[in-house]
Amino acid sequence: MKKAWQIDREMRVNAIPVDRRVQSSNWYEPGFEVPYGDALIDLFWESKVPGSSAPEISYVSMVQAMGNKGYDVSTAEQYLEEGMRLHAQGKKDELRVITAKILNALKNARYDLREEYHTFQHPDSWEDIQKSMADVKNVAEEKEWKAGYVDQIYHAWIGQLSGGSFGTCIEGYTGKHIAEVYGKIENYLTKPETTNDDVVYELVFLDAYERMGRKITAEAIAMEWVKQVPFGWSAEWVALRNLNMGVFPPNSGAWFNPYSEWIGAQMRGMVCGMVAPAQPMEAARLAYLDGIVSHAKNGVYGEIFAAVLTALAFEMKDVHALIETGMKFIPQKSQYYAIVAFALEQTKKGGDPAVIWQGIEEELQRYNWIHAYPNIAAVVFALWLGEGDFTKTLSLLAVAGMDVDCNGGLAGSVLGIMSGVPAQWSEPIGDLLETYIVGKEKLSIKELAQRTARLAEQYR
């Protein structure tokens, strides 16, 4: 019997990228019909990423993700290959049964205390997270608003959308296969499109922040999700399910959520740094409130780290110092911190970037390509070796593969703030942000940046 992570890994290393230079993407349209019943079960047994057509089997990744959190998932694993067979044969009645058995096995799974996960400390409350950080007393919190922040916030948005657009057509594949299809990548592979599911949650956060400012609550953010977001993937799907059943934060992110330590919170932390320029602790607090809507523990630390890097970038110009300072805000005895430290240690050794990444990837092969760990490793790897160069950094993210659009969004935001976005990347984006949220189908990026800056100054 194969373990869930082995099934997922085998699928990943065998997946050859669809060449998006000759085939368009397939994103949701505003007002699309949300899948349910047999349609949802089928989708979770076989799906393809809208931007890249990378394969994904959500029921396999659910089991994999629970195993990554230190649970004994052997009972659930024994049903996976049968479920894959039933889906391929179109036996819907039997597939419902096997799916229910998998979910029941996960619901009743117990901790496997032999797992390394349990050797780390993972504080839950904001107060305990603060206590678990390193000494950050010497990390300056800029009190005065600076006019230059307005332009930096604009470049944060453009950088995020450029990085996301760059990675959309290659996400979900290994760097090795990306290189085989595309070679060395130093520009957009296709006409860039700003539509993806990453920025949606940042827009919703801004709506709650505009109404409440620094008195914002996790519940207020969650209610904007219920009001505006029709459907989510992985952790966000579970969170929406929980919220609609009346399970509110922090339980909405933690309760029966296999994906609570995946990238979904990490990919949206940048907006928290944008509304708190040069105030990393406030950015971290906002990221915590936003993160617990859909994530827990290491997943939340991922959003905190992304927010802190973004906030620090407003006053720091050395990307190496930025990473090492940002690491102080991560719970120091958490597994997330250990992963960041490992990735940085391996990257600092130098040498051929592809060889460096191969070593990091092999160490993290048990984790899904959407998990926070391999993706923050990719961001650290690319930012460190990119040395502040926007094009070089994105090219290195392609070397790493994984969730390239999310990683490009984070790296692009940080570098956009620090030094601006080169015209090569900004001009093709133009001024249009498209989303599948009703009422937010087409937005001006300039107006979004102005709004973000206005709120950041108003609530400073």
pLDDT tens for each residue of 301-338: 999 999 999 999 999 999 999 999 999 999 999 999 99
Q: Answer yes or no: are the C-beta atoms of 169 and 405 closer than 8 Å.
A: no
Owner of token pair 């629970």? 66
**What was the pLDDT predicted at 162?**
97
**What was the pLDDT predicted at 44?**
94
**What was the pLDDT predicted at 27?**
58
76 has pLDDT over 70: yes
Q: What's the mean pLDDT in 281-291?
A: 98
Tell me if the domain spanning 126-458 has CATH number 1.10.4080.10.
yes
22 has pLDDT over 80: no
Q: What's the mean pLDDT in 293-306?
A: 98
Q: Which two tokens mark 391?
A: 């094009």
Q: CA–CA distance from 394 to each of 144, 197, 324 (Å)?
A: 32, 20, 20
**What was the pLDDT predicted at 140?**
87
Q: Answer yes or no: are the C-beta atoms of 265 and 297 closer than 8 Å.
A: no
Half-sphere exposure of 392 (CA within 13 A, CB side): 9
Domain with CATH 1.10.4080.10 in the chain: 126-458
**What was the pLDDT predicted at 26?**
58
Q: What's the mean pLDDT in 227-248?
A: 95
User: How does DSSP classify residue 116?
Assistant: G
Mean pLDDT of the chain: 95
Give the gyration radius of the chain's Cα atoms. 20
**What was the pLDDT predicted at 51?**
82
32 has pLDDT over 70: no
Phi then psi dihedrals of residue 55, to 5 deg? -80, 150
Q: What's the mean pLDDT in 124-143?
A: 95
End-to-end CA distance of the chain: 56
Output the pTM of the full model: 0.96
**What was the pLDDT predicted at 270?**
98
Q: Which of 155-169, 182-196, 312-326, 356-370 has the lowest mean pLDDT?
A: 182-196
**What was the pLDDT predicted at 50?**
85
